[in-house]
Amino acid sequence: MYARAAVNEANKIPAISWTTAGAAMTAKPPAVGSPQKLRAGQTLFAEGDDATGVFEVSQGILKLYKLMPDGRRQIMGFVSSDSLIGITSADSYLYTAEAVTDVGLVRYSRAQFDRLVDEVPGFARRALAVGFHELNSAQDQMLLLGRKTATEKVASFLLFLSGLQSGSVDSDDVHVPMSRSDIADYLGLTVETVSRTLTKLKRDGVIALRNATNTKFVNRDLLEDIAAGEMASAY
């Protein structure tokens, strides 16, 4: 009944790729997207740019953000493999997409994408699944932004990161590829508060911090309880 462990779980949906469309391919080869690479820090597209294509992430992490006129920034999400970005009903992109790490993607023109939706059986349903999955993630993030404390936000973020990297070495080791500033703008906090909160979690023996980019869960259960808001007023 409750919004338990409202950790953002984007990117757990199987890839949408023409190569998975099966038999339909032989009858009529669908338009193939073009592979593309991006260096960390490069911008894929900016809010307001003409929306000329849709991208499927095949490797690496991007951040999606919006800016306010005075420079306030909100990162809508960090996306990795199998996410679709750049879909919009408007004719321009509604957010900026920038590479956090080196990134590999597949680009589809809008026409190609529409053709895939209309002509490849099952593609539309999968795109729908991806879309609504991302909507669910966005809703979890709304709960986080609107109602969670700084500690709950940071705990949720660490668990989200861990989820992004599941399938790695030790699942309790978390690599943090983005800056404190990115984390702050994702959680609706300041850099200082993120830093202080991580220090506090370390002091309390919930996590360990080797350096700024390497964290380890010391007490994952506690971290999950904190993230879910189940620690009364202690966090």
Binding residues for DNA, rule: CB under 7 A, are 149-151, 179-181, 188-196, 198-199, 209, 211-213, 233
Q: With residue 150 as reference, give the H or E element that holds it.
A: helix 150-164
Does 91 contact its own copies by CB under 8 A? Answer: no
Residue 76 binds which entry of DNA, its own copies, none, CB below 5-8 Å type-dependent: its own copies
Residue 89 binds which entry of DNA, its own copies, none, CB below 5-8 Å type-dependent: its own copies
Please state, in angstroms and rounded to a whole number, the distance separating the CA atoms of residues 95 and 74. 10
Out of 143, 192, 212, 214, the only residue in the binding site for its own copies (CB under 8 A) is: 143
Give the list of residues 6+ apart from residue 132 with CB closer than 8 angstroms, or none. Answer: none
- Concatenating the DSSP letter of every residue in 106-124 gives EEEEHHHHHHHHHHSTTHH
Does 182 contact its own copies by CB under 8 A? Answer: no
Please state, in angstroms and rounded to a whole number, the distance separating the CA atoms of residues 173 and 20. 32
SS3 67: strand
46 and 116 Cβ atoms separated by less than 8 Å:
no
116 and 31 Cβ atoms separated by less than 8 Å:
yes
Q: What is the β-pairing status of strands 84-85 and 214-217? A: unpaired
The nearest distance, CB 148 to DNA, in angstroms, is 8
Does 69 contact its own copies by CB under 8 A? Answer: yes
The mark string for 22-61 relative to its own copies (x by CB under 8 A, - otherwise) is: ------------------------xxx-------------
Q: Note the residues at the interface with its own copies (CB under 8 A).
A: 1-4, 6, 13, 46-48, 66-70, 72-74, 76, 87-90, 94-95, 114, 117-118, 121, 124-125, 127-129, 131-136, 138-143, 145-148, 185, 187-188, 228-230, 232
